[in-house]
Structure 1
């Protein structure tokens, strides 16, 4: 895979690989990708115009994500952001997934290829990286325009995934499944302990979900947004009415292997950045795809479609950014091992 397709290429004279500092800046952009519970399960290595991307399984959520599916979706989101950042720097990114069987945690190798001037579409999408935040606040009742919905669906198609809007009946069914999945997760052994790991604040903590990003209580409990304040009763949280008829979209891939999960993450990030560019707010709703039999109800294997993520899309107030680990924690030296 090469180009971040947001318009026709405008090639310029070929130049050597970008400097290490330029690629470091690209990695700095990549770590702004979304991840389950803001776990940031990725590491990077830079050498000779190439960035290797590793899955960091020490940050896997064993209760919610025993197979590592959501971990790879998170890493895939970082891979797309890295590709986009390299493209913004004027190089065509070349992607190889799982390039070395001897290194199973090496999930992607992104090479800064030939020079090509970034298109306006690339510039606009890249500008959204720093402004994309998960929004757990109520959205307005404004209808998302059909043109915007099509642009989101097109963004998913660019990354070989599908994004479909749930009709009224499907939306009701999906929200019901999500609510049921949320109840089952809360009753699952280890769920609260895992939630504690990623939500309770700590001195200087640069991961997890901080109190500022938790959002309000839902007055009518109409939306199954994960309650990150479950274990923090001391929080002074407002009670709000959420939109009664949210726009719900299903992101799906044509298979359900680790490669497809990585692909889903790239599609997810492209969709989220496109939504940000369109001034839309987004909330990933992952509970329905975290319970196998609930996820199966959202999946149509006859048509070769596996549900990977549910998205809530609309117009909402500005959301709070979540912290990011410093580069020193995620950037490997050229000679080090990923687990060091």
Structure 2
């Protein structure tokens, strides 16, 4: 069953209003979205009146993500970024999730809706796209203001997800569970080999050494090191009490995974707009038993991602695939 949404009342797409060149530029913007191990598992096809968004299933991480949950979260993040790019061009996007039961790889069909001038909020979010980067370095020991956290919760709500700020007890539990998850992942068959495939130097995807911060000697922050730190790597003064957020959805199927991805990107861009650094943390969610502990499954609410936020140093962007590799020709 497909789900159709619009970014404005109404919901019916107008006649084509953006040229192929402009839609191509919107797709280019969408490729800046975050993804598991920077795998960039998306493809796009420009149609007469919009863009179809597909999975690139060959880029799924089979060991970490056997069900494709994180793949769809990644594609969802790209979908939100595409919607935002169209909105910045002065049109309201209309989208439907899984519109073709015969094509499982088609995640969303995005049409260009009626004209509407971009609001200051849209401009701010769109401007944040180029500055949003996963930050695995220590953050300042400065509390995140309550008003900023409120903006982040609202960002998740707008995309149909729930964002909870972990209190001291929950935060300590998440850190402990993340340590357990890291140890379990290290022993999972094929994990190290899969991780190595995504840390090869000089490729246009994956995680380069420049994207990995120092070693956290106290292990207070559950940041993945990707096996790129040398045995005697320098340690960093990570914040002893990290601010951690839990992103969750009502339900846990394909639609909810795409919803989680859209909410994740909106939250990350909202944080970037407020000069906050962010680190999506997926290890605890990649171990089913630990994920259940972080979820309220009896109530139908499932944890989809942990997000660390704070004030940190600027970091460099990770590489992106060429547009010709992700844009399917008609």
TM over 0.5: yes
CA distance in 2, matches of 1:324, 1:33: 10
Pairwise CA distance, 1:302: 2.7
User: Is 95-104 or 15-24 further displaced after alignment?
Assistant: 15-24
Residue 217 (structure 2) pairs with residue 219 (structure 1): yes
Matched residue of 1:217: which SS? coil
Any idea what the Cα deviations from partners look like across 1:34-66, whole Å, max 9, x if unmatched?
000000000000011210000011000000000
Give the Cα separation in 2 of the matches to 1:16 and 1:274: 30
Gapped runs of 5+ residues in structure 2? none
**1:323 maps to 2:319:** yes
Cross-structure match for 2:54 = 54
Residues 4 and 211 of structure 1, relative CA distance in 2, 3 Å threshold: farther
Q: Distance in 1 between matches of 2:284 and 2:159?
A: 23
Q: How does 1:300-319 map to 2 (within 5 A)?
A: 300-319=296-315
Q: CA offsets per residue over residues 302-327 of structure 1, 9 Å max, x none? A: 33210000010100001111000010
Contact 2:208 2:318 in 1 (8 A): yes
Q: 1:3 aligns with which of 7, 28, 32?
A: 7
Change (3 A) 1:317 1:50: same
1:331, 1:16 → 2: CA distance? 19
* Map of 2:158 onto structure 1: 158
RMSD between aligned residues: 1.6
Matches of residues 179-258 of structure 1 in structure 2 within 5 Å? 179-202=179-202, 205-228=203-226, 230-231=227-228, 233=230, 237-258=233-254
- What is the TM-score when the length of structure 1 is the normalising length? 0.92
Give the SS at the match of 1:239: coil
Tell me, yes or no, if the aligned pair for 1:4 and 1:84 is still in contact at 8 Å: no
1:200 to partner: Cα distance: 2.2
Which whole-Å CA distance do the structure 2 matches of 1:108 and 1:27 have between them? 13
Equivalence map 1:245-324=2 (5 Å): 245-324=241-320
* Distance in 2 separating the partners of 1:121 and 1:4: 15
Contact kept, 8 Å, 2:6 with 2:94, in 1: the verdict is yes
Measure how far apart 1:16 and its partner are: 4.4
1:4 CA displacement? 7.3
Number of equivalences:
323
Separation in 2, partners of 1:225, 1:36 = 13
Say if 1:72 and 1:258, in contact at 8 Å, map to a contact too: yes
Verify the 8 A CA contact 2:55 2:105 in the aligned structure 1. Answer: yes
Partners of 2:314 and 2:325 in 1: CA distance: 29
Deviation, 1:67, is 0.2
**Is contact 1:4-1:83 (8 Å) kept?**
no
CA distance in 2, matches of 1:41, 1:97: 17
Is this contact kept in 1: 2:15–2:49, CA < 8 A? no
- 1-side partners of 2:177 and 2:321: how far apart? 34
Whole-Å Cα distance in 1 between the matches of residues 8 and 264 of structure 2?
Answer: 14
CA distance in 1, matches of 2:260, 2:81: 13
